[in-house]
Chain A
Amino acid sequence: MVVEEKAIIETENLTKVYKGQVAVDHVTFKVFEGEVFGFLGPNGAGKTTLILMLLGLTEPTEGMARVLGVDPVREAIKVKGLIGYMPENMGFYNDLDAIQMLKFMADLNGLPRHIADERIEKALYTVGLENEAKKKIGAYSRGMRQRLGLAELIVKEPKVAFLDEPTLGLDPDATNKMIELIENLSKEQRMTIILCSHFLEMVQKLCSRMGIIIKGKMVAQGTMETLAKEKFGVDSEEYTLEEIYMKYFQEEA
């Protein structure tokens, strides 16, 4: 579908040893422009650590990483300006309202006031929080907080967004809304998205390619079809992502 594929994220043998334990073990992969790439793996497999290294929040023990051609270790500030990050436990200042929070984040990114105001209004409308914009975030439900997190990404307009468990603990309705919004980010905002999730249905629906990480190692990566072919030797049509994932998981763990 993409004529000239440009690698947005590139790693080579990326390794992180944390307190004597290997959290990420020689991971090599690429993510291309406009892609939605999914990370699958059990809890504690090293997905979050991998993301933190790409963000320049943690230094890798070994290996190389490039995000948009920039080294996140040496030019952490530059990388942080180009990417958006939505962590698993999204923290907000509970005594601010949505607009104040988004303004604060826009300020940290050095957005000029008039551009920020415009984007904030648009973002709140896109995620459906325009009526709750003046409410303190402390009074928000989990679904609303996650949507506010997405609004932040829309305001920042990064080239790449890392979403860590965006649907964790959401009810079915909120989950669907979330999936729609992520799709919107990818299609309309043309963001490259890295998605970490245990909700395989969503990963199957959104991601063009995925990587399976078990015990810090990237054991497989590719499209649904390649993953299925590798393990079952047939087309993916007959298997859901869950079955494929479980197969990998049972073999590796």
Chain B
Amino acid sequence: MHGLKVIFKKELADHFSSYRFLILFSLICMVSLIIAYMVSMSIKNEMKDIAKPQFVFLMLFISQGGLFSFVQFVAFFGPLIGLIMGFDLINRERNEGTLSRILAQPIYRDAIINGKFLAGVVTISIMIASIVLVITGLGLILMGVVPGIDEILRILVYMIISIVYISFWLGVAILFSIIFRSVTTSALAGLAVWIFFSFFVSLGANIVAKAFVPDAGPDNLEALLKQITIQRAISLSSPIVLYSDATATIVDPTKKTTRSFVFVGPFEKLSSERFSGPLSLHQSLLIVLPYIITLIAITAICFAISYIVFMRQEIRSA
């Protein structure tokens, strides 16, 4: 245990004193501040002369002020945070010859990988928490609206999902830094996985679904439904889609399904609009629970693979 503590402390200090982290953090801060500012200004304009609607505060995170909302920004950019933090954690030490020296000290081998992962997760948590707090603070000042308990709880859940999500990408990066000896290769591999999941999967899902059900169209609704089901099943293999769907439902209480309304028939739409009140946090959580569990599971699997590969690797200085 004491080895884990020492490694954890050093890694945490490394993260917070590195230029890489400072640049990354200021970049995210900058973008989030811009988003929060634009959104709160537009909300303030719209709210003039009307009674305060419910859940205004959460609009800060979900409405697309200029280009994208904060939630979308994290979904897209979050993977990069994890990848940048982790892509050279193990192979840099191997190349510089520090790994074999640490391993020659009386600590368990898994203390190294556990300490590194844990320090990364804590860094990510601090990063996310501080950014969300900054946005909340800015929103308070600019909009003059105080969030309710329900809203605060939702933001908390959102933060936890985000931390798990970025930790997953940290796990991917650590895995590549164990498998590949070269720092550049592992960085590229991480980028490839990111691009694959952010662009390729949704495109591929579309193509595959069309290939399976070619006769889908407005006049063949059954086929269309089948096509959509296939497309959705494939795109759910992407952690980015998992995360986007989960967070969108958590942060937006009026969203009652993770599906888009385009795919809902007119009568279903009518019936759901009859109950157009917002969902309680409990209900929202129930909807996204499978997503959250899946996210946690893939993070755990990714870390487990890294762990096994690392424990079995031969330690050679050259």
**Which range holds the interface residue count of chain B?**
20 to 34
Query: What are 23 A-to-B residue pairs whose CB atoms are below 8 Å?
Result: A55-B104, A57-B100, A57-B104, A58-B314, A81-B105, A85-B104, A87-B100, A87-B101, A88-B317, A88-B318, A89-B317, A91-B93, A91-B96, A91-B98, A91-B100, A91-B101, A93-B98, A94-B96, A104-B10, A105-B105, A108-B105, A109-B106, A110-B2
A87 to B315, alpha carbons, bound, how many Å?
A: 12
A85 to B17, alpha carbons, bound, how many Å?
A: 29
Query: How far does the Cβ of B128 sit from chain A's closest Cβ, in whole Å?
Result: 26
How many residue pairs link A and B with beta carbons under 8 A? The number is: 66
**Is the beta-carbon distance between A80 and B105 smaller than 8 angstroms?**
yes
A80 with B104: in contact, given A48-B317, A108-B3 (CB under 8 Å)?
A: yes
A109 to B3, alpha carbons, bound, how many Å?
A: 8
Residues of B within 8 A of A199 (CB): none
The 0/1 profile, CB within 8 Å of A marked 1, for residues 103-134 of chain B is 11111100000000000000000000000000
Considering only residues 16-50 of chain A, those with a C-beta below 8 Å from chain B are 18, 48
**Nearest chain-A residue to B5 (Cβ)?**
A107
**Nearest chain-B residue to A44 (Cβ)?**
B318
Asked if B99 lies at the interface with its beta carbon under 8 angstroms from chain A, I say: yes
**Nearest chain-A residue to B111 (Cβ)?**
A108
The 0/1 profile, CB within 8 Å of A marked 1, for residues 1-42 of chain B is 011001101100000010000000000000000000000000
Asked if A234 lies at the interface with its beta carbon under 8 angstroms from chain B, I say: no
The 0/1 profile, CB within 8 Å of B marked 1, for residues 1-29 of chain A is 00000000000000000100000000000
List the interface of chain A (C-beta within 8 A of B).
18, 48, 52, 55, 57-58, 77-78, 80-81, 83, 85, 87-95, 104-105, 107-110
Residues of B within 8 A of A78 (CB): 106
Asked if B214 lies at the interface with its beta carbon under 8 angstroms from chain A, I say: no
Query: How far does the Cβ of A110 sit from chain B's closest Cβ, in whole Å?
Result: 6
Residues of A within 8 A of B6 (CB): 104, 107-108
**Nearest chain-B residue to A92 (Cβ)?**
B98
A85 to B100, alpha carbons, bound, how many Å?
A: 10
Residues of A within 8 A of B10 (CB): 104
Residues of B within 8 A of A77 (CB): 106-108
Considering only residues 34-73 of chain B, those with a C-beta below 8 Å from chain A are none
Asked if B102 lies at the interface with its beta carbon under 8 angstroms from chain A, I say: yes
Residues of A within 8 A of B316 (CB): 52, 58
**Nearest chain-B residue to A149 (Cβ)?**
B101
Residues of A within 8 A of B7 (CB): 108
Asked if B278 lies at the interface with its beta carbon under 8 angstroms from chain A, I say: no
The 0/1 profile, CB within 8 Å of A marked 1, for residues 300-318 of chain B is 0000000000000011111
**Nearest chain-B residue to A162 (Cβ)?**
B104
